[in-house]
């Protein structure tokens, strides 16, 4: 069921605006499976650094899809791990701001093509070291697969048995639906596209939830509620070459 949560004024008694001012800082974040959340930085990081040093036992390996997320003072980086040398982690992009050793550091993967058939696997975004709410305006799902997709399939594989479901929870909660095939995404408001295969390339399925277009409003996340967006894999998805979910939005003017 879509939008089965609370509606109306927010918890502070204010009416939420539909779209933020165009000058607000942008927000982009992958859903990850948060494999380890008690990692610390062993030395400060300076703007434009591409290597960060972390505490022993971090578990980073540089595997495909492995990401490091660092939160501090309403700022964050989420970077693909290029390589690991003992406790030094090489990032795929330079850091945009200075970071202290008080930062929150998380290891996880952004690849949802995992086996969730026996034990469900949660992928999430959580507001941690934030004091400013964030508005999500789009959810983008991109799958790469070896067979052509259509509405009867889930991306490019057979329809799922249990499905993958999405939920915002902790503050104003609602389910964004359970999906066993591409038709489910389309019927629940998402734009679904099956791009033509490039020569010697792979097939793809592109799924976009435009929150303003579908619901007439953005999806707001409040830090005091520890608001979370979660996607749960409940089937075996390893035959999909790649499956990623990104949240797109902006910071708000509200503090």
Q: Is the pTM of this model over 0.95?
A: no
Alpha-carbon distance of 129 to 131, in angstroms, equals: 7
Q: Give me the sheet containing 66-72, strands edge to edge.
A: 36-39, 104-109, 66-72, 75-85, 88-91, 51-53
Q: State percent of the chain over pLDDT 90.
A: 76
pLDDT digit string, tens, across residues 139-175: 999 999 999 999 999 999 999 999 999 999 887 788 9
Tell me how many degrees the CA angle 42-130-112 measures, rounded to the nearest 5.
80
Tokens 């982690």, residue located: 89
Of the ranges 18-27, 29-38, 196-205, which is most confident?
29-38
Q: What pLDDT score does 255 carry?
A: 53
pLDDT digit string, tens, across residues 234-255: 999 999 999 999 999 998 876 5
Structural domains of the chain, ranges and CATH numbers in brackets: 32-110 (2.40.30), 111-255 (2.60.120)
Q: What pLDDT score does 9 carry?
A: 43
Q: What pLDDT score does 199 carry?
A: 87
Does residue 177 register a pLDDT over 50? yes
More confidently predicted of 223 and 136: 136
């Amino acid at each position: 069921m879509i939008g089965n949560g609370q509606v109306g004024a927010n918890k502070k008694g204010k009416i939420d605006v539909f779209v933020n001012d165009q000058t607000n800082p942008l927000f982009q974040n992958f859903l990850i499976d948060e494999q380890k959340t008690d990692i610390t930085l062993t030395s400060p990081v300076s703007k434009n650094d591409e290597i960060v040093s972390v505490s022993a036992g971090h578990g980073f390996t540089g595997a495909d899809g492995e990401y490091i997320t660092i939160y501090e003072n309403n700022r964050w980086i989420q970077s693909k791990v290029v390589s690991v040398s003992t406790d030094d982690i090489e990032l795929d992009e330079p850091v945009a701001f200075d970071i202290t050793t008080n930062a929150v550091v998380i290891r996880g993967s952004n690849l949802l093509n995992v086996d969730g058939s026996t034990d469900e696997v949660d992928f999430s975004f959580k507001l941690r070291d934030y004091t400013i709410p964030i508005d999500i305006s789009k959810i983008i799902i991109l799958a790469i697969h070896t067979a052509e997709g259509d509405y009867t399939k889930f991306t490019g594989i057979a329809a799922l048995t249990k499905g993958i479901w999405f939920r915002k929870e902790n503050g104003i909660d609602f389910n964004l639906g359970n999906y066993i095939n591409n038709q489910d995404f389309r019927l629940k408001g998402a734009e679904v596209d099956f791009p033509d295969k490039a020569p010697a390339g792979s097939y793809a399925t592109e799924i976009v939830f435009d929150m303003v277009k579908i619901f007439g409003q953005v999806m707001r996340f409040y830090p005091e509620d520890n608001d979370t967006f979660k996607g749960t894999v409940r089937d075996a998805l390893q035959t999909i070459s790649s499956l990623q979910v990104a949240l797109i939005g902006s910071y708000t003017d509200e503090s």
